[in-house]
Amino acid sequence: MRDEYREMLEDGLDDDEATQRMLDAYADALDDPDEATSVWLALAVTQSKLGRLDPRVRERALAAIDKGADLARWSDTPRLAAKRRDVLDKARAQLTGPQPQRKKVRPPSRHVTDLQPGDVLSYRAANGNLVLLRVARIDNERHSVAPVLVALDFSGTHMPPQPELDSLADKSRTPFRLDGSRLPPWASTSWRVAVFKRIDYDIAGFQRVGRTTARPGDPDFRTSTYGSWQQLPHELERNLTDAPATFEQ
């Protein structure tokens, strides 16, 4: 609920409209005695921290605290009830004390990539080989826009012609055991790569060298490996440490 309210402000809603939308969205919870205190408190405390405490929300939150229904939920566990009482006391002090200045709430900054699904990136490894990565999809989320890359099953020092590029399969992952041993080469073959400290793919040593055909499932492709552009070369070099260079004539 705190995140939803803040995101509304980030998107430019004024205080009154954001408050009303939250109350409408949580109307059912506000009608539930077991949930109402948590809703009023979450909204009131969040507003207070941002210097935007609505007097109506403040009064309803204080009334919910005074009613004591929230503490009754913890009556069977005295230790937890005491901790909850401390939380409620701190909330009351915050809501009744001096309020901070109204804070500006800005949208989150996002690096918008110029990569597109189907783009192919190359990385020249220390052993001379090219590593080819294709953009399977673009992860477009509130806080970031980042490509999901998949390694292509390729070994060589020069770019393959387009027909061969289109026929390259995705590289298969190497199974490994979670026993503390060193990861084998290509334990990960896909990555969601974000810009960190303004380092984008070109600065990190990658070149956009072409495009390839889409693969089934690409629009919904997911990966469990996350990182930055400056981390990815180290990962690729680790995968190639034991692989001999392949030099073309």
Following DSSP, what letter does each residue of 104-150 receive, concatenated? P-PPPP-------TTEEEEEE-TTS-EEEEEEEEEEE-SS-EEEEEE
CA-based nearest residue to 158, from 47, 245, 55, 37: 245
| Whole-Å CA distances, 223 to 102, 122, 148, 189, 239 | 40, 20, 7, 9, 18
Structure tokens at 213: 């055909």
Amino acid at 31: D
CA 171 to chain centre: 26
User: In what helix (H) or strand (E) does residue 207 lie, and over which residues does it extend?
Assistant: strand 206-211
The string of pLDDT tens digits covering residues 80-131 is 888 988 988 999 999 999 999 999 998 877 788 999 999 999 999 999 999 9
pTM (predicted TM-score): 0.65
**36 phi and psi angles, rounded to 5 deg:** -60, -40
Q: Percent of the chain having pLDDT more than 70?
A: 94
pLDDT in tens, the chain (249 residues): 999 999 999 989 999 999 999 999 999 999 988 788 889 999 999 999 999 999 999 999 999 888 877 777 777 888 888 898 898 899 999 999 999 999 999 887 778 899 999 999 999 999 999 999 999 999 988 878 899 999 999 999 999 999 999 999 999 988 876 665 677 889 899 999 999 888 999 999 999 999 999 999 999 888 889 999 999 999 999 998 754 433 332
Element (H, E) at 162: helix 162-167
Residue-level pLDDT at 131: 97
pLDDT value at residue 16: 95
Return the DSSP state at 185.
T
**Which tokens hold the place of 179?**
């026993």
| CA–CA distance, 43 with 23 (Å, rounded to integer) | 9
Count of CB atoms situated within 10 Å of the CB of 10: 14
